[in-house]
Amino acid sequence: MMKKLELVFVPLPAIGHLVSTVEFAKLLVGRDDRFSVTVLVMKGPILQTAVTNYIHSVSASLSGSIRFVHLPHLDSDSSNSHPSSPSPVYFHNVMERQKSLIRDAVHQLILSEPGRLAGIVVDLLCTSMMDVADELGVPSYVFSTSSAACLALMFHLQTLQDHQGVDLTEFADSDAELVVPGFVNSVPARVLPALWVDKEGVGSTAIRREARRAREAKGILVNTFMELESHVINSFANGTTPPVYTVGPLLNLNHGDHHKQDSASDVIRWLDDQPQSSVVFLCFGSVGAFNDDQIKNIASGLENSGYRFLWSLRRSPPKGMIPDSSDNTNFEEVLSKEFLNRTSEIGKIIGWAPQMEVLAHSAIGGFISHCGWNSTLESIWHGVPIATWPIYAEQQLNAFQIITELEMGVEIKIDYNKDRNNIDLINSQEIESRIRSLMDDSNPIRKKLASMKENCRKALMEGGSSNSSIQRLIGDMITNFS
Ligand SMILES: *[C@@H]1O[C@H](CO)[C@@H](O)[C@H](O)[C@H]1NC(C)=O
Ligand SMILES: *[C@@H]1O[C@H](CO)[C@@H](O)[C@H](O)[C@H]1NC(C)=O
Ligand SMILES: *[C@@H]1O[C@H](CO)[C@@H](O)[C@H](O)[C@H]1NC(C)=O
């Protein structure tokens, strides 16, 4: 019998990244029992509790072929105090320091079972970890938890800098539009991830470095599926990137969040009492919080639309503090007693939301979302139309893709960004009219979503696009190793 092949995964220690890594590892070892997977878990600095809880809850259900190795804490300064929005410089420094911990951990693995390491799979946001694979002479792969479009854009922005001498800082707060390979429409600069095109040029240096490095990998795995992003994925076939494998959608289908089940079942019980497709669901991800004026506008937009609603609400934290993901939003302080009284029969306001279970519920008719890629995939999986309200990171790009490229959603905003100074409040009339459009049965986006939902599920089935792509990846991994 052939010896097992070990793959080491290095995800970012953020929940979305970790969950899709583990889901992929499950597919891999489930498909081919020659593989075993070790996931190296960096300590902090972001969302540490969610990560710990997740690992705790998922560990019990994993086969012996997947295991977690917790890296030690980074000693001293920078890991303890971190800015509210980690800058690329800060991030890079932390990753450089993590590298030596990862090197040690991988050495340990090799010592305990020599000759089995078939590759190291690093997160797209820390490709410098590929150095560890290079030192050991093993293949490295890159794993992207965001869209193929985001990957294409990253490569394009690197090419602009390296081959055309473009200074990306000129795209900060600019009305320019970019022609990007793989995109059908030109891409407005205002939907580029703000961290990539900051005025100081810090982000552009960082993505250039990451993208150059990613080109040297043996393959790039993307949490997407062919039918959703075929145009982009086909654009990678020009030989300037490593093979791109579509491996998604990777979703947390068995909801590993046991510690929160009481509040989850309360929400689901409430949904059980609502008519089919009657409820608008609002949820803005782990850092999506609004100031009180914006919250009031959302409230009146919702009420005036007349639709039922389930609203996962977070208030902006005091300046300079990181929003936490706990349920302590005290919405009685923001919303009037009268509003709460008038809507008590048709609306439910919650803190944390069991998002996947909510989207799976037949009472949900539409989703107002921050358009995190993971949430976008979850919504498609359940065929729920999205109204876009991006908050930060690459979410504006995702919103642009949903609205303009895929024509699959309703636009509330595509360029809202929490990090921009003086963001405009979105008024209640606008919110109301977009909710009406989102919930309208005759809106053609419903048909598109229904068919994408089908494609999405087929992709992972025998012979489906992602299923075949993973099969190809397995073959290539074995070839690259031997
Ligand atoms: C997606 O995000 C939600 C909320 O942030 C999280 O609970 C879930 O585990 C994530 N799923 C994946 C596959 O990353
Ligand atoms: C709403 O207000 C009415 C009249 O003041 C009161 O009778 C009712 O109990 C209130 N309902 C809720 C759910 O608070
Ligand atoms: C492809 O689908 C088949 C049938 O569901 C499954 O047994 C197999 O593990 C899948 N392969 C991959 C790579 O996911």
Contact call for residues 14 and 374 (beta carbons, < 8 A): no
Atom 1 of ligand 2: nearest residue by CA position: 341
Residue 83, pLDDT > 60, answer no
| CA 213/CA 210 separation, integer angstroms | 5
341 lines ligand 2 (CB under 6 A): yes
> Ligand nearest 53 Cα, by number?
1
CA of 364 to the centre of ligand 2 (A): 26
Report residue 246 as tokens: 């579509």
Q: What is the mean pLDDT of residues 158-176?
A: 95
CA of 191 to the centre of ligand 3 (A): 36
Q: What is the pLDDT of residues 147-164, one digit of tens each?
A: 999 999 999 999 999 999
Give the pLDDT score at 167.
Answer: 96
Q: What is the pLDDT of residues 207-260, one digit of tens each?
A: 999 999 999 999 999 999 999 999 999 999 888 999 999 999 999 887 555 445
369 lines ligand 1 (CB under 6 A): no
In the chain, CATH 3.40.50.2000 covers 5-248+459-481, 262-455
251 lines ligand 1 (CB under 6 A): yes
Q: Which is the closest atom of ligand 3 to the Cα of 27? A: 14
Residue 380, pLDDT > 70, answer yes
Task: Give the chain's mean pLDDT.
Answer: 90
- Counting ligand 2 atoms within 8 A of each CB, the residue from 332, 341, 349 with the most, and so the one to mutate, is 341
Q: What is the mean pLDDT of residues 280-303?
A: 93
Q: Which is the closest atom of ligand 1 to the Cα of 257? A: 7
Residue 55, pLDDT > 70, answer yes
Give the pLDDT score at 79.
Answer: 44
Q: What is the mean pLDDT of residues 315-337?
A: 70
Just list the catalytic residues: 17, 123
Q: Give every strand in the sheet of 409-411, ordered side by side.
A: 347-350, 308-312, 279-283, 364-369, 386-388, 409-411
Architecture of the structural domain at 5-248+459-481 = 3-Layer(aba) Sandwich (3.40)
Residue 311, pLDDT > 50, answer yes
CA of 463 to the centre of ligand 3 (A): 8
Q: What is the pLDDT of residues 269-278, one digit of tens each?
A: 999 999 999 9
16 lines ligand 1 (CB under 6 A): yes
CA of 197 to the centre of ligand 1 (A): 27
Q: Which is the closest atom of ligand 2 to the Cα of 342? A: 1
407 φψ region: left (φ > 0), alpha (ψ -120 to 50), beta (else): left
Q: 421 falls in which pLDDT band (50, 70, 90)?
A: low
pTM: 0.93
What phi and psi, each to the nearest 5 degrees, are found at residue 109? Answer: -60, -45
Residue 1, pLDDT > 70, answer no
CA nearest 373: which of 151, 174, 145? 145
Q: 116 falls in which pLDDT band (50, 70, 90)?
A: confident
Architecture of the structural domain at 262-455 = 3-Layer(aba) Sandwich (3.40)
Please give, one letter per residue, the 3-state secondary structure of 422-449: CCCCCCHHHHHHHHHHHHCCCCCHHHHH
184 lines ligand 3 (CB under 6 A): no
CA of 229 to the centre of ligand 3 (A): 21
